[in-house]
Amino acid sequence: MDSDPPLLETYKTLFANSKTSSNNHDHRLVTVEERHLPLIDLSRLSHNEAEKERCQKEIARAARQWGFFQVVNHGISMELLEMLREEQVRVFKQPFHHKCREDKFLNFSAGSYRWGTPTSYFLRQLWWSEAFHIPVNDISSTPMEPFATKVAILAQKLAEILAEKLGHKSSFFQESCLPSTCYLRLNRYPPCPIPSDIYGLMPHTDSDFLTILHQDQVGGLQLVKDGQWIAVKPNPEALVINIGDLFQAWSNDCYKSVKHCAVTHPTKERFSAAYFLCPSYETVIESCSMPSVYRKFSFREYRQKVQEDVQLYGYKVGLS
């Protein structure tokens, strides 16, 4: 029984059209330079005060200058990461029609399983991927729970450091970002017959405070640095951290929510898992300094706006 979503079949007409229309896009998926992100050793946080301070400063600098960085000695063991990956592979291997009814057999909420993109009018808008988007609460008592517990602690620690470096020692993130409001997104990118034309995930920014990504060795994550797309070289021991829109707004544009995407591979499937540090819908996001670049807004308002924009324009407009 086939476990792959029927991407090729569903987008047949888009494929046919792509052969006749000329593509005029800003982002050539094939000619992107591979670079290392800033790499930060978090074990330095438990060294002496001076070393801890230097490490915190590096985190804040990377969030300002890159919006992206990698961390090692992050407190999540290789065993836990392997357990997560094994479970992820197992879940995606299920027959496609079972995954579509994921609430029945995995106990995830209905609608957790997503594949392709419902609003694809052009090939370049198509996501060549499938994903489970799971509220962290739904993960309890699954083999992914120990990972979820650890990654939540790491996310809180990083958010606190980033806030502190702006001069704000606060319990804001602990109070507003709870297991019921944070998400784990399991991504799978099947091999793609025309990888130079189709994204695994379209260029986007994340709509959260920060994201922690664990990716395999295939590679495919790309991001914008100084106006150029660059590819991230996978590092098996590292986790990739990126700033989301909410932190950019909260930090008054100090930390950058940077556009990124996932590209596909012609022969290899790729897995990644992302943890999104999100607040409750009622939480109001207000800049921590004045004068504020953005008016204050609730997370609910923001999510609604993103959904409306995607329906209207086919893409997310983001902070404005």
Active site residues: 270
Listed residue (265, 268, 182, 191) closest to 221, CA to CA: 265
Which CB, 95 or 266, lies closer to ligand OGA? 266
Q: Is the distance from CB of 128 to CB of 200 less than 8 angstroms?
A: yes
Listed residue (210, 227, 180, 2) closest to 100, CA to CA: 2
Q: Residues 105-109: contacts with CB within 8 Å, 24+ apart?
A: 106/132, 107/138, 107/142, 108/132, 108/134, 108/138, 109/134, 109/135, 109/138
Listed residue (215, 220, 206) closest to 248, CA to CA: 206
3-state secondary structure of 299: helix
Per DSSP, what are the bridge partners of residue 130? Answer: 115, 188
Q: Look at residue 262 and give the partner it binds from Ni ion, ligand OGA, none, a contact being a CB closer than 5 to 8 Å depending on partner kind.
A: ligand OGA
CB of 220 to ligand OGA, least distance (A): 6
d(CA 77, CA 237): 9
CB of 13 to ligand OGA, least distance (A): 27
Residue of 177, 192, 221, 239 that binds ligand OGA (CB under 6 A) = 221
Q: Look at residue 185 and give the partner it binds from ligand OGA, Ni ion, none, a contact being a CB closer than 5 to 8 Å depending on partner kind.
A: ligand OGA
Task: Tell me how many residues contact Ni ion (CB under 5 A).
Answer: 1
CB of 122 to ligand OGA, least distance (A): 20
CB of 11 to ligand OGA, least distance (A): 20
Segment 200 to 239, residues that bind Ni ion, using CB under 5 A: 206
CB of 244 to ligand OGA, least distance (A): 9
Give yes or no for residue 201 binding ligand OGA (CB under 6 A). yes
Which CB, 55 or 186, lies closer to ligand OGA? 186
d(CA 226, CA 253): 16
Strands (E), the chain: 33-35, 39-41, 68-72, 113-115, 130-135, 183-189, 199-204, 210-215, 221-225, 228-232, 239-243, 260-263, 270-277, 284-285, 297-298
Segment 147 to 206, residues that bind Ni ion, using CB under 5 A: 206
Q: Look at residue 70 and give the partner it binds from ligand OGA, Ni ion, none, a contact being a CB closer than 5 to 8 Å depending on partner kind.
A: none
Give yes or no for residue 215 binding ligand OGA (CB under 6 A). yes
Q: Look at residue 221 and give the partner it binds from ligand OGA, Ni ion, none, a contact being a CB closer than 5 to 8 Å depending on partner kind.
A: ligand OGA
Q: Is the distance from CB of 152 to CB of 182 less than 8 angstroms?
A: yes
Give yes or no for residue 264 binding ligand OGA (CB under 6 A). no
Q: Look at residue 243 and give the partner it binds from ligand OGA, Ni ion, none, a contact being a CB closer than 5 to 8 Å depending on partner kind.
A: none
Binding site for Ni ion (CB under 5 A): 206
Binding site for ligand OGA (CB under 6 A): 185, 187, 201, 206, 213, 215, 220-221, 260, 262, 272, 274
